Amino acid sequence: MSEVASTPAEVPVAPAPISQAERIGSLDLLRGIAVLGILIVNIQSFSMPDPAYLNPTVWGDFTGINKVVWAVSHVFAELKFMSLFSMLFGAGIVLMCSRLEQRGLRPARTHYRRILFLFIFGLMHAYLLWVGDILVWYSLSGVLAYLFWRMRPGWLAFWALLFLGVGTGLYALFQWSLPYWPEEARQGNAVWWSPPPEVIQHRLDTYRSGWLTQMSERIPTAAALHTFVYAIYALWRTLGMMLAGMAFMKWGILSAERSRGFFVKTAIAALVVGLPITAWGAWQNYTHGWSMDYSQFGGHLFNYWGSVAVTLGCIALIMLWHHSYSLSGLKSTLTNVGRMAFSCYILQTVICTTLFFGHGFALYGRVPRWGQMLIVLTVWAVVMAFANWWLARFRYGPLEWLWRSLTYGRKQPFSLTS
């Protein structure tokens, strides 16, 4: 679609969520792949001390197959599925708001109610279960993203690049300024980037303990992610990709309306650009020994931009698959996962925190990277089976139903017979 229509139609009594017949299958397929794919990256945060997420030399074996697993996940997954999720969130804003306007309704109130409850869900997720939550960041950025949704796609793309550029500028500034930081600040940052053994052991002991003990680590870490880290990094990244998603929705890319030739050319061009940039960045970090002075800021920028191109290339490949008849059963299952992406995202957290944290099996810090990938495959199988089973009986995922009911201020039909 070149533009989302905004012609008023017959006014309903009140706003309502879209029906199953109105759903766009390509978006659900993308969501399903995104929610499963992001676990490839998130499993590191579930299973190892947090600094190992950015500095893989912090914990565990980093040779042989473990190094290969890290390299593959970094090049093909790190930031890619987060970017895809952000784009789909932006596309969802366009879709919901345009449909409400078509019905003669003002979308702002519904949008901000939806964002408010997502924010509450995110806070509960982050502070009660797992600090790696993404919902708080999305809700905060979604407040601002609404201001842009009526723009033409070209302007949306311009603002997306501008916001991504601000994030780049901040990281470049931090990189340039590192030698001039006060010694106390440099030492504190060094402890975070490459913690000494006693700090690592404290974190291991904490997350291998009970749920209440974990709160001593979870609360301050989540608070830092929702304030400082959000301001210098996540705001610009998530908002930029949300606006890119809005533009791609209006251009007919995410809705799979462009030609097969367009998607083939886009996939080739984007992956040829993005994959070498990301791989080169990983190699440079490795040759610099993952030093704080290089890798924390400057060394991150290769994947920061390479991931944007790789994400676009992956979208094009998925749109080609969407229009094909190959692996139709798998496609249907992934679409079901996408229809209940919120529930599946939280289900992954419940499974993984039970496996790795002390209130469950306490595997935290005990599973090498190659073993983490086996767990990812197992969790995928559970999540896909759950999505198929659930949607054979109910209209929405459980959290999707609750979110919709709260957003629209009335209980939504739940079972397929209601």
Q: How far apart are CA 123 and CA 263, in angstroms?
A: 38
Q: Is the dihedral of CA 284, 287, 292, 293 positive or negative?
A: negative
H or E stretch covering 143? helix 135-145
pLDDT tens column, 88-109: 999 999 999 999 998 889 999 9
Whole-number pLDDT of residue 130: 97
**pTM for this model (two decimals):** 0.92
3-state DSSP assignment of residue 61: coil
Confidence of residue 19 (pLDDT cuts 50, 70, 90): low
| CB distance 207 to 47 below 8 Å | no
| CB distance 49 to 60 below 8 Å | no
Query: Span 71-84, mean pLDDT?
Result: 96
Neighbour-count burial for 144-173, b at 16+ CB within 10 Å, e otherwise? ebbebbbbebeebbebbeebbebbbebbee
Query: Span 303-321, mean pLDDT?
Result: 97
Confidence of residue 17 (pLDDT cuts 50, 70, 90): low
Whole-number pLDDT of residue 16: 64
Confidence of residue 6 (pLDDT cuts 50, 70, 90): very low
> In the predicted model, is pLDDT for residue 64 greater than 90?
yes
> In the predicted model, is pLDDT for residue 418 greater than 90?
no
> In the predicted model, is pLDDT for residue 363 greater than 80?
yes
Residue that is written with structure tokens 């790696």 in the block:
132
Q: How far apart are CA 214 and CA 217, in angstroms?
A: 6
The residue among 53, 84, 87 whose CA lies nearest residue 70 is 53
> In the predicted model, is pLDDT for residue 215 greater than 60?
yes
The residue among 115, 124, 232 whose CA lies nearest residue 174 is 232
Alpha helices in 152-257 (DSSP H): 153-177, 183-193, 197-207, 211-226, 228-229, 235-250
pLDDT tens column, 193-203: 999 999 999 99
Whole-number pLDDT of residue 416: 79
> In the predicted model, is pLDDT for residue 14 greater than 80?
no
Measured in whole angstroms, how far is the alpha carbon of residue 244 from the centre of its chain?
14
> In the predicted model, is pLDDT for residue 376 greater than 90?
yes
